[in-house]
Amino acid sequence: MFDSRFPNTSGQPTSGAPPERIMKIAPLDLRQQRFRRRLHGFDRTEVIAFLAEAADDYEQALRELDRQRQDLIRMEALLAEHREREANLRNTLLTAQRLADEIKEAAQSEAKMIVREAEGRANLILEKSRARLDEVEHDINELRLRRRDVEGSLEASIQALYHALEFIRDQDRPERDEKILLHRPRQADASGASAPEAQGRDERQSGGQG
């Protein structure tokens, strides 16, 4: 039997449901209700049968109402669970978004740091390359100057050797001419004397002059 004064038999409050009116008559009251007899009153058997039928319908209605209340409680519990899951999912998404933002910021910071380091290394390499290029250019200029000095020294040495050779040639030319004259045969004079005779005559002439 259901007591209309306690419509929620589960003992759990129905959150969000409007307050229900407490019913003063229960199906049992309908079945146990007895009326006083009066003259020319209703037929007692029909009245009891009607009350019994009304009690059955009333009890069925209460059963259906209680079932609906139970369904409502289950739906509210399921809705609360879904809301809790939705909140957890929202929190999870927010946490994931925050982590993604933090990872993105960290990656950007790391990328900027890597770029700065790479730029620093590139600038250092560029400075070293420029310094090395300056050294190479300086060495090349020194080599060019040395080459010019060597070329000048060689030209001076060649000129000196050339002049020395010309001088030696000039010194050797009269002696060579004399040697050529000594080895050349003398021709006979106009008197028909031979060369020894002419030489003796010349010697005598030179002695007489002395």
Q: In angstroms, what CA-CA distances link 205 with 22, 31, 168, 210?
A: 192, 205, 37, 9
In tens, the pLDDT along 6-53 reads 444 444 444 555 555 566 667 777 777 776 666 667 777 877 888 888
Residue that the structure tokens 């000129």 belong to: 159
pLDDT value of position 105: 93
The residue ranges of the chain whose pLDDT is under 70 are: 1-25, 35-40, 172-210
Main-chain dihedrals φ then ψ at residue 139, nearest 5 degrees: -60, -40
Residue that the structure tokens 């409502």 belong to: 72
Residue 90 gets the label, from left (phi > 0), alpha (psi -120 to 50) or beta, of alpha
Q: Is 58 exposed, middle or buried (0-12, 13-18, 19+ CB in 10 A)?
A: buried
pLDDT value of position 71: 95
pLDDT value of position 197: 54
Selection from 88, 66, 50 nearest residue 10 by Cα: 66
pLDDT value of position 48: 81
Give Cβ neighbours of residue 106 (< 8 Å, ≥ 6 apart). none
Amino acid at 203: E
Residue that the structure tokens 């209703």 belong to: 42
Cα–Cα dist 20/198, whole Å: 184
pLDDT value of position 167: 84
